[in-house]
Amino acid sequence: MPRERSVPPSFAASKHVLPQPFWSNHDQAVECYWRVWELAFKHIRRPTAENGFVANYIDTAFNDNLFMWDSAFILLFARYGSRAFNFQRTLDNLYCKQHPDGFICREIRELDGSDLFHRFDPASTGPNVMPWTEWEYYQVFGDRDRLARVFPVLVAYHQWLRTYRTWPDGSYWTSGWGCGMDNQPRVPVMPRTEAHQTAWWSHGHMTWVDACLQQILSARLLLRMAGVLDRTSEMDDFQAEDEQLSRFVNDRLWDDQTAFYYDRRRDGELSDVKIIGAFWSLLADVVPPDRLAALVAHLENPAEFNRPHRVPTLSADHPDYQADGGYWLGGVWPPTNYMILRGLSKAGYDTLAHDIAMNHLDNVVKVFEKTGTVWENLAPESAAPGNPAKPDFVGWGGLPPTAVLFEYVFGLRPDFERGLLTWDVRLLDDHGVTQYPFGREGLLDLKCLRRRSQSEKPIIEAVSNVALDMHVLWDGGREVLHLEPRSTTGNHRRVQ
């Protein structure tokens, strides 16, 4: 693939084509939204002859390396800016570095394009969330051509993990660095003074619950992609793995007494460390119905994950939990919070998702008011940056003021494949967004007028240049609006 040579646009030149949110009485949230985009455009980089990258990209904003899972999460909000800049091609710079056996390093040097780790280093790769990012992009833009291009890359990477990151029973392993949650107390070590280092790069001879759940999610999304691309006949091994691994997770990684999924240690016993990674089970949709309420209840428990800033990455009842976050010892991280929200939607817990989103965005905006920027992670016990945490982190710090604002505070969730936009109205203030993207050509202007109560039927004003169905939901009601491309005089549809 030839190297891209175009000059990336500036924020000033792009602002007018980005989605334009408005929210009465919440000017700071809107200001934070625009600060995110300002930082995002500031962090756009061009490929060089030395690194061999093939596309302009958004830098991770952490060091001089391009990170796999950071990039995947960055694009989950950056997709909303695709009319100004094709952020999605950031992943192409990882794909172009794929080895012939399917391996992709999780961290690639921007200086010379080399892998930071040898492929067989336990910390060399992961987490495997790129299929999720690509599928979400497809859900918004319906770009079948891109799906066809990236599908073989994602299949080969999944198969590499299956070959080199599994135990004989088919379960997956990783490490602190490989799972992305560096310093969690998951690997049992002696003496404890070495725990921080061992947790970073040791697999501990364990089955890692988040790695297993991410592979289930990957397999299921690749099967859906195969359906779109008429390649299902090639995917028998993925169907078989999905079924086998889902059984394993529910039979071997679930504890009935505490109603939670855990890592499995080398002696066959389950860990007792409750981590946020267990909630990938919601997004992967593997939780049996009779276990769902008990698992979700952990997110409502103040002794565990329902802290002043939701959701800490380590349960608050663990002795290593830290009030300032301690990085992954309770820190609130935008990517894992976004995963929680999407998982709750998948499981039908939209009210809880909205509550967590409001709490999360409120804390992010409070920290923005104090510091003028967004952060890599935040403290769970107060409205403060985490310790440690990098500022100006866009980076996945851009998720709460953009994707979380649109999808869970405003309640706008697109499904281009079905020609559907769901608007789950929960706010009482005037709010909405103009130039909201839907598909490669669609632009919507959306407004919900002020209401007096949650049960009051919302008045929606919507203008679209493409045909779609909009499902409007509110407390106690729902209505379907069919929008047609606007005429020269406009096409306003109101729910009232």
In a domain? residue 83: yes
Residue pLDDT, tens place only, 132-168: 999 999 998 999 999 999 999 999 999 999 999 999 9
Quote the pLDDT of residue 488: 29
In a domain? residue 206: yes
In a domain? residue 1: no
Show Cβ contacts of residue 488 under 8 Å, excluding neighbours closer than 6 positions: none
Quote the pLDDT of residue 1: 52
Tell me the percentage of the chain whose pLDDT exceeds 90.
92
Quote the pLDDT of residue 2: 52
The answer to whether residues 424 and 391 belong to one domain is: no
144 vs 148: CA distance, rounded Å: 6
63 vs 47: CA distance, rounded Å: 16
In a domain? residue 3: no
Which H or E run includes 435?
strand 431-438
Residue 355 pLDDT > 80, yes or no? yes
Q: Which of 409, 442, 463 is the last residue of a domain?
A: 409
Quote the pLDDT of residue 198: 66
Q: Which of 94, 96, 102 has the alpha carbon at shortest distance from 68?
A: 94
In a domain? residue 6: no
Is residue 366 exposed (0-12), middle (13-18) or buried (19+ Cβ within 10 Å)?
Answer: middle
Q: Domain holding 235: CATH number?
A: 1.50.10.10
Tell me the percentage of the chain whose pLDDT exceeds 70.
95
Residue pLDDT, tens place only, 278-288: 999 999 999 99
Residue 191 pLDDT > 90, yes or no? no
Extract the tokens encoding 438: 């839907």
DSSP structure class, residue 378: B
Residue-level length of the chain: 496
The answer to whether residues 332 and 432 belong to one domain is: no
> What domain range is 368 assigned to?
11-409
155 vs 126: CA distance, rounded Å: 14
| 377 neighbors 332 (Cβ within 8 angstroms) | yes
DSSP structure class, residue 429: S
Q: Which of 61, 46, 82, 51 has the alpha carbon at shortest distance from 394?
A: 61
Q: Where are the beta strands (DSSP E) in 159-276?
A: 254-255, 260-261
User: 413 forms bridges with which residues in the sheet?
Assistant: 422
The answer to whether residues 213 and 289 belong to one domain is: yes
**Which backbone phi and psi does 170 adopt, to 5 degrees?**
90, -5
Residue pLDDT, tens place only, 428-444: 999 999 999 999 899 99
The answer to whether residues 396 and 495 belong to one domain is: no
Residue 492 pLDDT > 90, yes or no? no
The answer to whether residues 211 and 346 belong to one domain is: yes
Q: Which of 355, 386, 409 is the last residue of a domain?
A: 409
In a domain? residue 423: yes
119 vs 316: CA distance, rounded Å: 35
286 vs 346: CA distance, rounded Å: 11
DSSP structure class, residue 314: B
Residue pLDDT, tens place only, 364-395: 999 999 999 999 999 999 999 999 999 999 99
**Which backbone phi and psi does 332 adopt, to 5 degrees?**
-95, 120
Q: Is the dihedral of CA 379, 345, 353, 415 positive or negative?
A: positive
Per-residue confidence at 36, pLDDT binned at 50, 70, 90?
very high
Per-residue confidence at 197, pLDDT binned at 50, 70, 90?
low
**Which backbone phi and psi does 95 adopt, to 5 degrees?**
-60, -40
413 vs 440: CA distance, rounded Å: 16
Q: Which of 434, 427, 436, 375 has the alpha carbon at shortest distance from 400?
A: 375
Residue 21 pLDDT > 90, yes or no? yes
374 vs 365: CA distance, rounded Å: 8
DSSP characters over 181-205:
-TT-TTS--SSGGGHHHHHHH--TT
Per-residue confidence at 231, pLDDT binned at 50, 70, 90?
very high
The answer to whether residues 283 and 214 belong to one domain is: yes
Per-residue confidence at 200, pLDDT binned at 50, 70, 90?
confident
The answer to whether residues 312 and 418 belong to one domain is: no
DSSP characters over 16-74:
GGS-EEEETT-HHHHHHHHHHHHHHHHTEE---TTT---S-EE--SSSSEEEHHHHHHH
Q: Which of 386, 409, 432 is the last residue of a domain?
A: 409
Mean pLDDT of 210-220: 98
Residue pLDDT, tens place only, 454-479: 999 999 999 999 999 999 999 999 99
3-state secondary structure of 370: helix
Instruction: Determine how many CB atoms are found less than 10 A away from the CB of residue 81.
Output: 24
The answer to whether residues 293 and 424 belong to one domain is: no
Question: Of 4-8, 78-82, 121-125, 200-204, where does mean pLDDT reach its minimum?
Answer: 4-8
Quote the pLDDT of residue 486: 72
User: 455 forms bridges with which residues in the sheet?
Assistant: none
Quote the pLDDT of residue 83: 94
What is the model's pTM? 0.96
Q: What is the Rg, in whole angstroms, of the alpha carbon atoms belonging to the chain?
A: 22
Q: Which of 14, 28, 24, 57 has the alpha carbon at shortest distance from 401?
A: 28
Per-residue confidence at 406, pLDDT binned at 50, 70, 90?
very high
The answer to whether residues 111 and 65 belong to one domain is: yes
The answer to whether residues 476 and 392 belong to one domain is: no
Q: Where is pLDDT greater, at 111 or 494?
A: 111
The answer to whether residues 229 and 317 belong to one domain is: yes
Residue 268 pLDDT > 50, yes or no? yes
The answer to whether residues 174 and 140 belong to one domain is: yes
Mean pLDDT of the chain: 94
Quote the pLDDT of residue 401: 98
Residue 192 pLDDT > 60, yes or no? no
**Which backbone phi and psi does 436 adopt, to 5 degrees?**
-75, 125
| 189 neighbors 203 (Cβ within 8 angstroms) | no
**Which backbone phi and psi does 353 adopt, to 5 degrees?**
-60, -45
Quote the pLDDT of residue 201: 85
Domain count, the chain: 2
3-state secondary structure of 427: coil
In a domain? residue 4: no
230 vs 359: CA distance, rounded Å: 42
In a domain? residue 445: yes
